[in-house]
Amino acid sequence: MPLDIYLFKNHEPKKFLGSVNIENSAVWEVIWEKLSEASALSIDPYGTTRLYANHVSTLLRILNNFYQSESTVLQLREILEPINLGKNDCVLFEGD
């Protein structure tokens, strides 16, 4: 399942950051479940999700701690780690 990732920064039009192919849906669901628990968000792992800077840093911490060798995780980290998000900036995840 492809997942497109966009950046919303300073009220500018969304900027495409990249696309990730979710190869292992069970791992993907656990990652989003851990993020939901850590951030008190209600997240649909296959729907559209908007994450602000604090949620993105929580997601990166989850990815780094639990799933370092999963290919989807490696792709996500490659896209998310270089982003410098301001307080009101966010990352949008759009699934099919």
Note the pLDDT of residue 68. 63
Mean pLDDT computed over every residue of the chain: 87
Query: What's the CA gap between 67 and 90, in Å, rounded?
Result: 23
Range of the domain at 20: 2-95
Per-residue pLDDT tens digits for 64-79 = 887 667 788 888 889 9
DSSP structure class, residue 13: P
Per-residue pLDDT tens digits for 83-94 = 988 888 999 999
Domain CATH code at residue 50: 3.40.1760
Q: Total structural domains in the chain?
A: 1
Give me 54's structure tokens.
Answer: 């604090």
pLDDT band of 43, cuts 50, 70, 90: confident
DSSP H stretches of helix in 1-96: 25-39, 53-66, 71-80
Give me 29's structure tokens.
Answer: 């669901």
